[in-house]
Each structure stands twice: as C-alpha cells, then as structure tokens.
C-alpha cells in the first residue's frame, strides 16, 4: 500500500518540521511507502518557506501553495487531485493529531473498510469547543443515519476510490464519511490519541459552527434527496397546497351557506384571517412543487456527467 498524507497548512510554520519528522519516523519503523503533500492555504507566517525546505531535503515531500486562503476543503481537494497513493490520509498540521496512529488506521482499512474516521476519545480542547461538537455530532447522526463519535476529526484514512467519487467544497470535508457512506462505502471509526495544541491558535469560532450546521443541512439533502429532490420539495408543496385548498373549500362552503342557502347571517368572507392563510399556503405549496420540478430537470441533465451509482468491482474478461 502506498500512502498519500495530505496536510492543509494555514500559519503552521512552527510545527511543520516536527510533524514531518514524526511522520518519517513512523514510516521508517513500519516500512510504509508514502508521500507527504503539504498544501499551504494562504499562510502569512513563513509556512511555505518551511515546506520548500522540507521538499528540497526529502523527495517524499511535495508542496502546493494557494494564492490566498481558499479553505480546508479546497486544500484537501487539491492534494487529492495530485496524490499517487492507493489510500489517502488526512492530517492536521497543528500536531494535535498523532502520526503514530497511522499504522492502526492502515490495519483497520485492511479489515475491509473503505473509510476509517478518527475519534478523539479524550479531547484536549476547551469546553466551548467540545460541547458544541458533541451536539453537532449527534445532529449529524440523526439527520444522515451515520452515527460516529467525531465526524469533525481531522485525522481520516480512506481509499483513493473514495476520493474519486465524492466532491467536497465549502466545508464539506468534515462530512467525508457521510458522503462516502451514501455512496455505499464501508465506514468505521477508531479511538485515537489527541494531543494538546503546542503552536498557533485554533481556527474554531461561532461562525465556523454556524457554517457547519448549514453544511449539515446541505449534506442531509444531498445524501437523502440529491437524486430525487421532488420527493422532499414536492411533499412539502403538497402539504401546503392541500392545507390551503382545504381552507378555501371550507370558506367556499361557508359563503354558500350565508349567501346561496341562507342558513347563517351574511358577513364578508374577506374579513376572515383563514382566507389570507389559505391563499398563502396554496401559493407556497405550488411554488415548492414548481421548485421540485426544476430541481428534477437539473438532476436529469447533470446526471449525464455524474453517475448516481458506485461500482465496487468489475469482472475481468476471459
């Protein structure tokens, strides 16, 4: 097995030399054939100079430098596009992920799994980062059906076939196990050693948590209804349209009983709030159904270039 280790870098100059030495030490002890791809995501602290120096002295090191900060998902995508290994390992550059865990990831992958996700069993992060993460992981499990303890763990190992079939953008890198599971790949997790931060500062913040929640909604829709959007939008539209239609039917009956068959004293129907609610519900329902039809058209034409299935193996011809 040839291993490609992809490390996004953002102002991590102080930790790169130590991280590289730890990775090489593990590779030497375990006789792992690997390449290390550092992707400089717009650093401003000399990280690229460190990467260039490491690449000059170690042919296993490759470096990519972005013109500006494009985000972790873009860095991982760029690294995966040029990786030559049979499997890909994601690793953060802040030394909190321990490269000594790599052999355990490889052993788990060889058991027949396609994606191995890390799980920081004893997390050395501040409480305001740990507890929101627990809530987030619970929500991911509920909405996607894949229950893992730590979806956002930066240390993951997966086969190159996974990288070829999933597309990550925005901040969808944390949902690689979910996206792979939706394609039929086998996903598991292992507990790993988590180390305290030694250099730099955390990139976590409330904005990142909110973006993660919005990305979760996107992933839940893509994995559940990506190939059949009308099933969700149409269902919402039918409920809204049906409620509005029932409300208008009821008001029409009331109008008949007041004006055609004078059972009740006449009064204006337009003064009733139900009329406005029923019309709004009917219009919103119709709009949701229309959006569902447009989404189906988009899926229909885009499916010509994007397969909706995943082939695991093919037989050889006699």
**Separation of alpha carbons 257 and 80, rounded Å:** 70
Angle CA 69–71–73, to nearest 5 = 145
What percentage of the chain's residues is helix, strand, coil (to nearest 5)?
55, 15, 35
* Pairing outcome for strands 2-9 and 33-40: parallel
Q: What is the token pair recorded at 179?
A: 């996206």
Closest CA relative to residue 73, chosen from 50, 90, 49: 90
pTM, entire model: 0.76
Angle CA 306–234–298, to nearest 5 = 25
**Separation of alpha carbons 92 and 307, rounded Å:** 31
What's the half-sphere exposure (Cβ side, CA atoms, 13 Å) at 151?
Answer: 33
- Helix-helix angle 13-30:47-57, to 10 degrees: 30
What are the Cα distances from residue 137, in Å, to 80, 225, 304? 25, 21, 34
* Pairing outcome for strands 87-90 and 115-120: unpaired
Q: Which residue has the tokens 């990280």?
A: 47
- DSSP letter (8 states) at residue 303: T
Closest CA relative to residue 116, chosen from 73, 158, 88: 158
| 3-state class (DSSP) for residue 63 | strand
What are residue 148's phi and psi, to 5 degrees? -125, 155
* Tens of pLDDT, residue by residue, the chain (318 residues): 789 999 999 999 999 999 999 999 999 999 999 999 999 999 988 899 999 999 999 999 999 999 888 888 889 999 998 899 999 999 999 898 899 999 999 999 999 999 999 998 877 666 667 778 888 888 888 888 899 999 888 899 999 999 988 888 777 888 999 999 988 999 999 999 888 776 656 655 566 667 777 778 888 877 877 777 888 888 899 999 999 999 999 999 988 888 888 877 888 888 888 999 999 999 999 999 998 888 877 766 665 555 554 455 553 444
| 3-state class (DSSP) for residue 65 | strand
Task: With beta carbons less than 8 A apart as the criterion, state whether 240 and 288 touch.
Answer: yes
Task: With beta carbons less than 8 A apart as the criterion, state whether 42 and 6 touch.
Answer: no
| 3-state class (DSSP) for residue 115 | strand
Bin 203: left if φ > 0, else alpha if -120 < ψ < 50, else beta.
alpha
* Pairing outcome for strands 156-159 and 87-90: antiparallel
**Separation of alpha carbons 61 and 228, rounded Å:** 43
């Amino acid at each position: 097995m040839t291993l490609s280790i992809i490390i996004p870098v953002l102002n991590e100059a102080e930790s790169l030399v130590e991280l590289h030495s730890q990775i090489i030490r593990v590779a030497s002890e375990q006789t792992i054939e690997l390449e290390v791809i550092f992707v400089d995501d717009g650093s401003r602290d000399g990280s690229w100079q460190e990467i260039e120096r490491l690449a000059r002295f170690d042919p296993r090191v490759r470096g990519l430098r972005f013109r500006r900060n494009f985000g972790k998902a873009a860095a991982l995508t760029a690294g995966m596009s040029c990786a030559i290994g049979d499997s890909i390992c994601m690793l953060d550059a802040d030394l909190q992920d321990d490269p000594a865990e790599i052999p355990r990831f490889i052993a788990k992958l060889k058991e027949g799994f396609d994606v191995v996700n890390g799980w920081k069993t004893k997390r050395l992060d501040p409480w305001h980062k740990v507890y929101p993460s627990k809530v987030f992981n619970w929500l991911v499990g509920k909405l996607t059906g894949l229950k893992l303890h730590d979806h956002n763990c930066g240390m993951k190992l997966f086969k190159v076939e996974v990288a070829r079939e999933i597309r990550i953008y925005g901040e969808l890198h944390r949902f690689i196990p979910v996206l792979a599971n939706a394609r039929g790949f086998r996903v598991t997790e292992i507990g790993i050693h988590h180390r305290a931060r030694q250099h730099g500062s955390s990139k976590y913040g409330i904005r990142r948590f909110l973006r993660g929640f919005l990305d979760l909604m996107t992933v839940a829709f893509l994995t559940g209804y990506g190939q059949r959007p009308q099933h969700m939008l149409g269902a919402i539209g039918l409920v809204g349209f049906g409620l509005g239609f029932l409300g208008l039917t009821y008001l029409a009956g009331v109008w008949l009983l007041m004006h055609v068959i004078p059972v009740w004293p006449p009064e204006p129907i337009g003064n009733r709030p139900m009329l406005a609610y029923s019309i709004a519900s009917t219009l919103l329902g119709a709009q949701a159904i229309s959006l569902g039809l447009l989404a189906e058209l988009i899926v229909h034409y885009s499916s010509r270039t994007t397969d909706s299935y995943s082939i695991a193996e093919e037989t050889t011809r006699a």
